[in-house]
Structure 1
Amino acid sequence: MFDRETLAEQAILVHVFFPQESACEDLHELQMLVSSAGVAELAVVSCSRSSIDARLFIGSGKALEVAQQVADLAATMVIFNHALSPAQTRNLERVFQCRVIDRTTLILDIFAQRARSYEGKLQVELAQLKHLASRLIRGFDNERQKGGIGLRGPGETQLETDRRLLRDRIAALHQKLEKVGKQREQGRKARQRAEIPVISLVGYTNAGKSTLFNRLTQSEVYAADQLFATLDPTLRQIRLADFGQLIFADTVGFIRHLPHDLVAAFKSTLQESREADLQLHVIDLADPRLEDNVKQVQKVLHEIEADDLPQLFVYNKIDVLQQNARIEYDESGMPVAVYLSAQSGDGLNLLTEAIVSLLSDSYQRLNLALPPDAASWRARFHEMGAVQQEHFDEQGICLLQIALAKPQWERLLKQSDGLLQNFIVST
């Protein structure tokens, strides 16, 4: 595990440019990650290499240059914008005489800081332990074997003991997460039985998902201009005018080369994105890396098998570029993109309009005339949140305008033995 107090220190950042695009990371993103982790940036050391140095990643000459910077600036940490092997980390720490952290370790620590729910903490610890298990290396102290009366012989090295303890803890975490996952699955099945559409917000981290979520649901989910401001999924049920009940789900943001252990650990949380009826792909319109960010999100969605669901692109932060709110349609007249500002609320009405348009095929809209002896059905429709308009005529007939999912209406018809069919005035 990571010591939080140690991480809140002063660091030198190291960024290497490689000719292969797949090996490159974004320097600005590293600086945002460092800021999100609460680490003070002292300096940035960059260089170009044709390939990775097997021993020191950046080569001996550049390593000595960084070591000099560490001594001159009294840095307590060096953070690489790349994934380092355990041997490279150990060799670099010997040269720098301070702690060395790579990109994956930094992301894992940010997740550990942000997790608030019981499930989130379990998921982060599992990802950390899996990452740590792959980085246990043999050192002089690890060669010592247990011994004593009745325990002489080959025994168990400290390295083997550490690995066994890690395996036991990982197994325990898997069991706890499986139990929590079953509870989450029960809630998901209950929502499916109620036939309430679920809309999941996905997107690159810091694209404005939580701000948009708060606007749509009148919630107070923590939102800030930092990477991974929120981790734990939040679900809110709301009623849209001229439509009915909806459930919005705010999920964790994605990032380039999201550690595989994190994706695996958060799979149950990301299940909300897989089971959604519609995905709102929130995109930072002002980000110069817009196209690459979209590709990275689609890549993660593919990994969790959630890339085949209906998706509406939501281009956020039009206020930064001083653009107008608008909707873009495809050839069939269906909305494919909405441009808005979650911060100011400009274009929010267009988003709800697009959502209603995309989900309308799954909803039934009816006008009913309920006699006084059918008051129980009136109460049922109100309980379901399906009533859009209501008034009584002079004879005490309740005139209702309702909107609900088609499977819901079919189930109600069956429960009433077709009686509700007699109350329909128009559709």
Structure 2
Amino acid sequence: MSETERKLVLGTPAAFALEAHLASYAAHSETSRGRRFPEAPPSARTEFQRDRDRIVHSTAFRRLEYKTQVFVNHEGDLFRTRLTHSLEVAQIARSVARNLRVNEDLVEAISLAHDLGHTPFGHAGQDALHECMRDHGGFEHNLQSLAVVDQLEEHYGAFNGLNLCFETREGILKHCSRENARKLGELGERFLTGKQPSIEAQIANVADEIAYNNHDVDDGLRSGFITLDQLSEVSLWHTHHEAAKNEFPRIDGRRLIHETIRRIINTLIVDLIDTTSMHLARVRPESIDDVRNAPPLVAHSEEIASQAASLKRFLFKNLYRHYRVMRMANKAQRVVTGLFEAFTDDPRLLPPAYQARGPVAEESANDPAAPTYDSSQARLIAHYIAGMTDRYALKEYQRLFVIDDN
């Protein structure tokens, strides 16, 4: 093997070769804005592949297996969790990225990390924790995901968190209040100036919606909380359901449902690629900075966007507000609120790491980005609760409030 060949296999040129096919407006490793803590470049992989690998090996990623999507984890083995949802988002996002010649590895890293900061019990848990933190800066799950990868993971000797690239962190931060954006410096700037993130971040954002809308339909039908008769009133569903029946007259039941959902997802992906390609042809960005300065480029056509919005409204009305889902949401809010209040009243009930003088607080105080991260007792409690799985939160609640005679 020649020296040139050896470098292409083992050195950083290999990473660049892996990205040689990318469009000029894609995110490239060699032009990344870098990491908070400088590191030697990886061998035989790109910087964004390294980010993806760190996310997959993180503790927070493993916890997603036991965090709610819509249905609490113990309600059934076949319902989506935050983990399966994240994998489905990554699959959709990679398909779109490949067709648009942008960075698949970056879009995968963002997709896999976007829910790392979600609380137990889905949006009900998040809403409850935000209410508990109202007088302490509130709670935003996107900001919590960033705190996980910047501060809370404990895998490396040289730094807190995962030390991800700027572009991955930028994509994780899908939403952010202006108040919090001001604390984030360069990372929060776009929320103040109206600029856009990378095209890879935009793809992951839309892929998230495609995944949860369609897979929530599947889980809703499996649970019996929504019916095929109800869905027949939604044009996006009706069109593809009828097409599936016409092509395969003999299929029914779960097979017909899966065939319909598969067709809907395909329609959404193809439309997203076609519409985004038209936007790119019109704007003609030459670099990632051109993408950031342009209007949003990744989008559906008006017709498909309208149909997808109708499906989303249907799910909100008929599934997310179903009385049995609301009952579980009410229980979840009681659990999160009860835990927060108990820990606030007596922080000695917390594990030592999450007490105000514990290791997490001390590490935050020594972090170069300390102004970004609040190490107050209330924020440490929020970190602890947000990191819980559904079943751990229920067990912790039982330990604190239920007297067991056994």
Query: With structure 2 as the length reference, what TM-score do the two structures score?
Result: 0.25
Structure showing greater Rg: 1
Q: Comparing both structures, which one devotes a greater share of its residues to strand? A: 1
Q: Comparing both structures, which one devotes a greater share of its residues to helix? A: 2
Higher relative contact order (CA 8 A, sep 6+): 2
